[in-house]
Amino acid sequence: MTREPFRPSDDFPPVTPETWRAKVEKDLKGADFDRALTYRSPGSLTADPLYHAEGAAGDASGFPGTAPFTRGFRIPVVGAGAREPWSPAVVIEDADPVEANRRCLHDLSLGAQRVYLKLGRGGVELGAGSDFTRLMDGVEPTFIELVLESTAPLSAAGLLAHFAASGTVDLGAIRGAVSADPLSRLASEGLLMEGAERAWKDTFELTRWCGAEAPGLRSLRIDTTVCHRAGGSPVQELAWGLAAGVEVLRRGVDAGFETPELARRLESHWSVSGDLFLEVAKLRAWRKVWAKVLAATGAEDAIRDQQIHLRPSARVPSRVDPWVNLLRSSAQVFIGAIAGVDSIVAARWDELSGGGSDFGRRAAINSHHVLAEESYLARVADPAGGSWAIEALTERLAEQSWTQFQQLEKAGGVQAALLSGEIQRQIGDTVAERRRDLAERRHVKVGVSMYANLTEQRPGEADSPGTEAATADAVAEAKVSGVGVSTVDEARAAWADGTPISLDSAISLDSSGADAEPTSCDALADFRESERFEALRLAVDAAAAAGRRPNVCLAQLGSASEARARTQFAADFFAVAGFDSEPTEPTRDAEELAAAFRATGAEVAVLCASDEVYQELAAPVARALKEIGARRVYLAGKPGDAEPEWRRAGIDDFIFLKCDAVEILEALVDLVVLQGRNS
């Protein structure tokens, strides 16, 4: 007898997308489906609340290591004994070479496999070749990936060549990069002092040297982190990456290189926020669209040598409630692991609070090991593959970024778009969206714009918020000392004989001996999501440190049950700016409540009750509060048609979900803290 296979689906009716939607709409109780559940990110990308097989991406993602490479360029090592397919990476930027060496050895002992040495201004300060020897003491560069980052890449490469010539290491055995990227430097600093043409000439001079002397080093970089740092959307980051990559290929061909060789010398650098689905889709979409570019140039085989490296997001961390940064950093490592990148620098949780401790560095590196070994992400090939949501978002990002890339090409390429201000305008529009979403708390920063912890103990504070801007101004004005060099060999010889040489972009000399004409544009300003809320919190915290923490009276009207929900909402709302809250006993008597307000010593009050109680008591209570000296009175809730009447009675503003919290709190801090300080 033949036994039919058991299929549970045969006993149940099929569930269609329409069935799911009908169920959700019923649960929404009349609320609009799209308005309530569809997510719209800055840059007009939407994420649907429901995904299904029929709505999955049109083209198949294939398999890891095969076209269209959405699922990765290579097949990762899996199975028993597998090691993490990504390299834990660290950045060394201590000014003192001895301290930088200590940090480097500390991080390597914890499992770091890729080391970025930031050289020159803002990084390790090296006055002579012997300083680099001290920096590398005990470090075996052939056992790791070594990346030298400098705005004068020829000088950095010459320094490495000088170090290798001492017999310490075989230059040809070093793997990593000495990357040049004029485009991101122009965008971030707004200036190429040596001029764009000289910067490109140096870039391809470095590429020739790497090909001949250091085949394990990459010399070209597509750096989208400058766009991410400025607040760009995922679509804008992808379009920037495509346009920058094409500009490198085009200029490299003009310099005499073949496209496949250029593609193999390229690596791309990215940053991600905590938006899991969107950011994983962004990195997967990059592989797809970049493969399309290389296929069009005839260099499709070079795609397998492409590397994707993840750097910490400078716009995500917070100075307030910095412990949450541990979660943000881990989420970014998780995203990189899911998306299949080659290396990840995990952000240090205390980086904004005094420069970062050894514990912060240890926690950052350990997040790699936990996700790779304890969460088994190292044993799964393309964990995102087959997720209808991620596949659909990947396809949308690829399509929209390709369209925007074509627009940049029509504008003359990414460098021309920077010089004309078009890129700055586009990203500025996105940042305006981000600022609105943050101010209205549509995008929540835990511990910063919501769920504030007034009793937190923060580590030592870093420099004031104005430090970063001052540094950017200094970059634009400084004339860096040291000779300009035109080849790596010249730089190596200069390091060898002790000639002063700069590791920062210096004014180079053209063939006639005259100063090169600098290339300048408006720099892409850094954008950090927590800045505006942090400024309020730090101002109030400073006032609290000098005396008593400013407080807000929560004036409860009606019964405790009628006031409870909005009392809690108001307390959380004002805690975001650092204000303590003191509730009164619930009452319906205006004079009794006014006396309770006076007893709290607060200068401002917020009325907390149900809508029904407001209709009866809001106006008389507001008048009573103003009569005894309340400097500002708020009402927790939307005013509706009663707003004109309540404002005439003395209510100054209204707080509710998705109101402009920044505008309201800035006005309050100015009134209670800043004006009080100046009076």
pLDDT for the residue 28: 85
3-state secondary structure of 78: coil
Please indicate whether residue 388 or residue 535 has the higher confidence score (pLDDT): 535
- Check whether the bond before 68 is cis (ω within 30° of 0): yes
Quick one: 24 and 100 in the same domain? no
Quick: pLDDT tens for 439-456.
Answer: 999 999 999 999 999 988
Find where tokens 């679509």 sit: 235
- 460 confidence band (pLDDT: 50, 70, 90): low
Say if residues 673 and 539 touch (Cβ distance below 8 Å). yes
Identify the domain boundary among 457, 490, 507: 457
Neighbours of 57 (CB within 10 A): 16
> How would residue 473 be classed by pLDDT, with cut points 50, 70 and 90?
very low
| Residue 404 resides in a domain | yes
Do 156 and 284 have their domain in common? yes
Closest CA to 174 of 193, 147, 155, 196: 147
Average pLDDT over residues 9-29: 80
Residue 504 has pLDDT above 90, yes or no: no
The answer to whether residues 276 and 210 belong to one domain is yes
Could you give the number of structural domains in the chain? Answer: 3
Residue 511 pLDDT exceeds 60: no
Mean pLDDT computed over 248-277: 95
Q: pLDDT tens digit string along 338-352?
A: 999 999 999 999 888
Percent of the chain predicted with pLDDT > 70: 90
Based on the domain organization, do 47 and 159 belong to the same domain?
A: no
- Concatenated DSSP letters for 419-475? HHTHHHHHHHHHHHHHHHHHHTTSS--BTTTBS--TT-------S-THHHHHHHHHH
d(CA 286, CA 305): 14
Show the tokens assigned to 447. 């511990």
**Least confident span in 182-186, 330-334, 599-603, 673-677:** 673-677
Domain presence at residue 516: no
Average pLDDT over residues 500-525: 71
Instruction: Please report whether residue 604 resides in a domain.
Output: yes
Q: In this predicted model, which residue has the larger pLDDT, 341 or 11?
A: 341
Q: How confident is the model at residue 80 (pLDDT cuts 50, 70, 90)?
A: low
Residue 84's pLDDT is 56
Lowest mean pLDDT among 24-28, 54-58, 312-316, 595-599: 54-58
Going by C-beta distance under 8 Å and a sequence separation of 6 or more, which residues neighbour residue 323?
349, 447, 456
| Domain finish residue from 405, 439, 457 | 457
Question: Greater confidence, 502 or 190?
Answer: 190
Q: What are phi and psi of 498, to 5 degrees?
A: 80, 15
CB distance 136 to 101 below 8 Å: yes
- The verdict on 154 and 288 lying in the same domain is yes
- How does pLDDT run across 357-369, given as a tens digit for each residue? 889 999 999 999 9
Minimum mean pLDDT among 165-179, 434-448, 505-519, 587-601: which range? 505-519
pLDDT in tens, 172-184: 999 999 989 999 9
Query: In terms of domains, do 47 and 114 share one?
Result: no
User: Confidence band (pLDDT; 50, 70, 90) for 548?
Assistant: confident
Which residues, including other chains, have CB under 8 Å from residue 190's CB and lie 6 or more apart? 476, 520, 521, 522, 523
Q: Lowest-pLDDT range, 202-216, 414-428, 458-472?
A: 458-472
116 phi and psi angles, rounded to 5 deg:
-95, 120
Instruction: For residue 164, tell me if it sits in a domain.
Output: yes
Percent of the chain residues topping a pLDDT of 90: 69
pLDDT at 143 over 90: yes
Asked if the structure places residue 29 within a domain, the reply is yes
Give me the pLDDT at residue 59, please.
55
Looking at the fold, whether 318 and 208 belong to one and the same domain comes out as: yes
The owner of tokens 């398999």 is 63
**Which 3-state string (H, E, C) describes 495-520?**
HHHCCCECCCCCCCECCCCCECCCEE
Q: Give residue 501's pLDDT.
A: 82
| pLDDT over 60 at 463, yes or no | no
**Residue 72 clears pLDDT 90, i.e. is over it:** no
Q: Mean pLDDT across the stretch 233-253?
A: 97
pLDDT for res 510: 41
Q: Are 658 and 438 in contact (CB under 8 A)?
A: no
pTM score of the predicted model: 0.91
User: Where residue 593 falls among pLDDT bands split at 50, 70, 90?
Assistant: very high
Specify the pLDDT at position 39. 79
**Domain annotation covers residue 218:** yes
Q: Where are the beta strands (DSSP E) in 128-174?
A: 145-149
DSSP codes joined into one string, 314-380 = SSS--SSSTTHHHHHHHHHHHHHHHHT-SEEEPPPTTTTTTS--HHHHHHHHHHHHIIIIIS-GGG-
Domain of 665, CATH number, reads 3.40.50.280
Helices 422-439 + 234-254 axis angle, to 10: 160
Cβ(325)–Cβ(318) under 8 Å?
yes
pLDDT per residue as tens digits for the range 386-418: 888 898 899 999 999 999 999 999 999 999 999
If DSSP codes are grouped into helix, strand and coil, which group holds residue 388?
Answer: helix
Residues 209, 339 within the same domain: yes
Tell me what the mean pLDDT of segment 89-93 comes to: 95
What pLDDT does 411 receive? 92
Are 109 and 38 found together in one domain? no
Q: Are 282 and 337 within 8 A, CB to CB?
A: no
Cα 635 vs. chain centroid, distance in angstroms? 36
pLDDT reported for residue 655: 97
> What band does 509 get if pLDDT is binned at 50, 70 and 90?
very low
Q: How confident is the model at residue 469 (pLDDT cuts 50, 70, 90)?
A: very low
What pLDDT is stored for residue 373 in this prediction?
85
Give the residue numbers spanning the domain of 650. Answer: 531-678
- Residue 35 falls within a domain, yes or no? yes
pLDDT over threshold 90, residue 234: yes
DSSP helix/strand/coil, 406? helix
Q: Is the pLDDT of residue 484 over 80?
A: no
Give the residue among 182, 186, 245 at the shortest CA–CA distance from 524. Answer: 186
Task: Looking at the structure, tell me whether residues 43 and 147 fall in a common domain.
Answer: no
For residue 68, is it within any domain? Answer: no
> Which H or E run includes 282?
helix 276-297
Complete edge-to-edge strand list for the sheet that includes strand 604-608: 580-583, 551-556, 604-608, 632-636, 653-655
Please determine, for residue 48, whether its predicted confidence score (pLDDT) is greater than 90. Answer: no
Average of pLDDT values for 588-605?
A: 94
User: What span, in angstroms and rounded, lies between the C-alpha atoms of 282 and 256?
Assistant: 32
Residue bearing tokens 């959405």:
70
- Worst-scoring range by mean pLDDT, 222-226, 375-379, 539-543? 375-379
If asked whether residues 365 and 255 sit together in one domain, one would say yes
pLDDT band at 51 (very low <50, low <70, confident <90, very high): confident
pLDDT at residue 265 greater than cutoff 60: yes
- Output the pLDDT for position 462: 43
305 or 380, which is more confident: 305
**Residue 10 pLDDT grade (very low, low, confident, very high; cuts 50, 70, 90):** low
Confidence of residue 124 (pLDDT cuts 50, 70, 90): very high
CATH number at residue 363: 3.20.20.240
Q: Do 546 and 409 belong together in one domain?
A: no
Domain boundary pick from 457, 491, 523: 457
Mean pLDDT of the chain: 88
